Amino acid sequence: MSDDPFRTKLSDFEFQVLREGGTERPYTGEYWDNKQPGTYFCRACGAKLFESETKFDSRCGWPSFYQPAEGSNVTYLKDTSMGMQRIEVRCGSCDSHLGHLFEGEGFNTPTDLRYCINSVSMTFEPAEHDDEGAA
């Protein structure tokens, strides 16, 4: 997919992260400490990525999840940049860079996986509250 449609839709920084594989600095992103219930979507194309129920505090400074949302479309690529062996997480719908996947770090989660995702790669939609019967 060509980057051209994304150049006008995304800010320069969003484009750098999503389309050029950049990263944001830790503890600076919009969602690293978001605790609201809701769903995270790809900022570039709107594809569903993660649910807040799978978000956990990994103390790394980026939003961390232990699994993608049901029905999400994430893909994985081997990443040997920066002298490390990592697994890159990409949006399966538009092939945008989201972050990296780490495993076996000992977090007390059901999968022992950490999807370390750039806040700027996502948008967040809070869960709707059922206010019926509220006083």
Q: Taking a C-beta distance cutoff of 8 angstroms, is the pair 23, 79 a contact? A: no
Q: Would residue 116 show up in a list of annotated catalytic residues for this protein?
A: yes
Separation CA 9–CA 18 (nearest Å)? 12
Catalytic residue of the set 42, 91, 94, 116: 116
- Residue 80 pairs in a beta bridge with none
Cα–Cα separations (whole angstroms), residue 96 to 1, 80, 93, 134: 10, 18, 8, 42
Active site residues: 116
